[in-house]
Amino acid sequence: PNACALVQCPPEQPQAMVSLPTVVLVKVVVLMSLLAASLAAPLASTNTEAPPCADVDSVLIQPVIRVAPQCFRQCPQVCRPVAELLELVVGHANSSVLEHTGCSFEQELQCLYGEPSCKVLLVIANSSMDVPETAEELRLRCADLAGNQTTSTSTTSSTT
């Protein structure tokens, strides 16, 4: 028999409420796949150069580096921003915090879009989050975010 016929079942949740756990699940799967890739492909260097992002103190970035080590060699300026964004994702930061943090590193992150070896990172990130797909899209989103802050600040100032 139908269990809802015996007891009162709660109404079905709207789709928006169901999507949040799905997004979190996708992020966990992406992080787990990065970890698996890092275990399968140890970071090896054929010469004595320092490993990418050696100066960044974050265990979260190491699996990502192993997925695209050449990206981090070509774009060392993205090490700290990527590490900080990963910390926020794992800490379940909301999209607004992620956007503001990403835009605070806009200049550094531009390299990801021009370096072919970084493409895999953008594809992985886009599989679970709404990440700009081009350098121009990043620039426009950050300009829009800055414009909204300016408008919000000036509106607040003019009403006081």
The top-scoring range by mean pLDDT among 1-10, 35-44, 49-58, 101-110 is 101-110
pLDDT confidence of residue 39? 54
Q: How does 75-88 read in b/e, with b if 16+ C-beta sit within 10 Å?
A: bbebbbbbbbbbeb
- Confidence bin at 53 (pLDDT 50/70/90): very high
Q: Which tops the pLDDT comparison, 22 or 79? A: 79
Please write the tens of the pLDDT for every residue from 21-31.
Answer: 444 555 555 55
Tell me what the pLDDT averaged over the chain comes to.
Answer: 77
19 pLDDT exceeds 60? no
pLDDT confidence of residue 17? 39
Distance CA 82, CA 79 (A): 5
67 pLDDT exceeds 70? yes
3 pLDDT exceeds 90? no
